[in-house]
Amino acid sequence: MILVTGGAGFIGANFIHTWFKHSDEPVINLDKLTYAGNLANLTAFREDPRHFFVRGDIGDREQVAALLAQHQPRAIVHFAAESHVDRSIFGPGAFIQTNVVGTFNLLEITRDYWSRLPETASESPNKQDFRFLHVSTDEVYGTLKPEDHPFRETNPHQPNSPYAASKAASDHLVRAWHHTYGLPVLTTNCSNNYGPYQFPEKLIPLVIHNALAGKPLPIYGDGMQVRDWLHVEDHCLAIMRVLEAGRTGETYNIGGWNEKPNLDVVRTICAVLDRERPRPDGRDYVEQMTFVQDRPGHDRRYAIDAGKIERELGWRPEETFESGIVKTARWYLDHAAWVADVTSGAYRQWVEQQYGTHGE
Ligand code: NAD
Ligand code: TYD
């Protein structure tokens, strides 16, 4: 049994899909179901006894402690977070609350649970084999100049956005809980993910959604900011590999060796849509590109040196950007109902009917 936090979000849900492709070990999924968490990402497991969903907040100590005591997981994979940079600029409070205070709560409850586990390796779960895997981002490292080497695990943390600062703070807490209390932790810092079930506020799903809706495709500033893109399934496989074989106390950078300026990403998506779902007026989707005011403090370039995880754990990405982006565009074309659902108020109403407002 493992506990996943944030398993109804984009990467967490993909992780659960990937996990059950490779394992029958049950998963408890603790998720607050914020705007970004959606049980429609997990309909495949609605009746599946291996998946046990619990709505709750990682900041709720009593609930998390009770879950751990009841289910006795052998590992925790911590995805739950506020994750969108633009939202963090307009409302940083939720980011501090969930990413920093929430992670602190989770660490404290986990430490208490772990300290009571049996020492003996013959029992499961046990103190020695327990693992807390913290899922983080390359944005903690700050920004790169064109001539800089991609981020290594040894780069200093120099976060620039409220989101990045809150994730850097959580990385530091996780590190300290290992050094001070001996909690067996692992941290992964990954580049920009794309793929199915991503809420259409991040660049790739937003562009697909707006293109099809005939809306402008907003390009911040000059559009020459560079991101490293990784297909979400590759990220999930990397997390499984780190959970299985990573050395506790270590951090592992995960990336696609796939740097692209935003303008290239948007043009590629437009070209794919021109082929797969031509505009009714026969014109090109790139005509919808609209340069807008830049994001304040916008990081110019992220890039990951994923050499350590490849050397030590034998992981490397399988999907190329060219094939991954076509698959992703097709997924969104085939799942118009999912997009309509998560972007409308109907799903939120259903969550409230089902679970109440849960302090929101
Ligand atoms: P997301 O916003 O799609 O999902 C976050 C999930 O966490 C949602 O299901 C939400 O309901 C849940 N959640 C939020 N606050 C919670 C709380 N207080 N208690 C319990 N659940 C809560 O995010 P994502 O893109 O899937 O990212 C998952 C993790 O991966 C985050 O920690 C993020 O920092 C990290 N990450 C993301 C990317 C990326 O490109 N998306 C890249 C690297 C790392
Ligand atoms: P985003 O998907 O928000 O991820 P992050 O900011 O975490 O890297 O944005 C990816 C890049 O695309 C980033 O440089 C900001 C830019 N961007 C736009 O140009 N227009 C948009 O509408 C969005 C959402 C992002």
Which pLDDT tens digit goes with each residue over 62-98?
999 999 999 999 999 999 999 999 999 999 999 999 9
For the chain, what is the domain count? Answer: 1
Q: Is residue 94 part of a domain?
A: yes
* Cα–Cα distance, 261 to 322 (Å, whole number): 14
Does the pLDDT value for residue 325 go beyond 90? yes
Q: Is residue 154 part of a domain?
A: yes
The residue to mutate among 220, 265, 300, 304, having the most atoms of ligand 2 within 8 angstroms of its beta carbon, is 220
Residue 343 — very low, low, confident or very high, per pLDDT cuts 50/70/90? confident
For residue 98, give the ligand 1 atom closest to its CA. Answer: 18
Q: Which residues contact 194 (CB under 8 A, 6 or more apart)?
A: 202, 204, 205, 229, 230, 231, 232, 324, 325, 328
Does the pLDDT value for residue 357 go beyond 80? no
**Mutual orientation of helices 336-343 and 321-334 as an angle, nearest 10°?**
70
| Residues 170 and 334 sit within 8 Å (Cβ to Cβ) | no
**Per-residue tokens: 317:** 């990405």
138 is known as an active-site residue: yes
Instruction: Looking at the CA of 40, name the nearest ligand.
Output: 1
Rounded to the nearest angstrom, the distance between the alpha carbon of 96 and the centre of ligand 1 is 13
Residue 359 — very low, low, confident or very high, per pLDDT cuts 50/70/90? very low
Rounded to the nearest angstrom, the distance between the alpha carbon of 33 and the centre of ligand 2 is 23
Among 134, 72, 129, which residue's Cα sits nearest to residue 103?
Answer: 134
Rounded to the nearest angstrom, the distance between the alpha carbon of 203 and the centre of ligand 2 is 5
Q: Is residue 360 part of a domain?
A: no
Please give all residues whose beta carbon lies within 6 A of any atom in ligand 2, as ranges.
85, 192, 202-203, 206, 218-220, 225, 227, 262, 295
The whole-chain average pLDDT of the chain stands at: 95
163 is known as an active-site residue: yes
Q: Is residue 176 part of a domain?
A: yes
Instruction: Looking at the CA of 38, name the nearest ligand.
Output: 1
The residue ranking higher by pLDDT, 344 or 24, is 24
Q: Is residue 171 part of a domain?
A: yes
Residue 121 — very low, low, confident or very high, per pLDDT cuts 50/70/90? confident
Q: Which of 31, 138, 171, 259 is catalytic?
A: 138
Report, as an integer, the average pLDDT of 314-322. 96
Please give all residues whose beta carbon lies within 6 A of any atom in ligand 1, as ranges.
5-6, 8-12, 30-34, 36-37, 57-59, 79-83, 98, 102, 135-137, 167, 190, 192-193, 199
Does the pLDDT value for residue 360 go beyond 70? no
Could you tell me the strand order of the sheet in which 131-137 lies?
51-55, 27-31, 2-5, 75-78, 131-137, 185-190, 251-254
Which H, E and C letters describe 158-193, residue by residue?
CCCCHHHHHHHHHHHHHHHHHHHHCCCEEEEEECEE
Provide the domain limits for residue 277: 2-355
CA-closest residue to ligand 2 atom 22: 218
Q: Is residue 52 part of a domain?
A: yes
CA-closest residue to ligand 1 atom 29: 79
Burial degree of 348 (CB within 10 A; 0-12, 13-18, 19+):
middle
Beta strands 226-231 and 259-261, pairing class: antiparallel
pLDDT over 70 for what percent of the chain? 96
Residue 47 — very low, low, confident or very high, per pLDDT cuts 50/70/90? very high
- Model confidence pLDDT, tens digit, residues 237-255: 999 999 999 999 999 999 9
> For position 314, which CATH number holds?
3.40.50.720
> How many DSSP H helices and E strands does the chain contain?
13, 12
| Residues 12 and 6 sit within 8 Å (Cβ to Cβ) | yes
Report, as an integer, the average pLDDT of 101-109. 98
* Cα–Cα distance, 169 to 163 (Å, whole number): 10
Does the pLDDT value for residue 358 go beyond 50? no
The residue to mutate among 4, 11, 42, having the most atoms of ligand 1 within 8 angstroms of its beta carbon, is 11
- pTM exceeding the 0.95 threshold for the entire prediction: yes
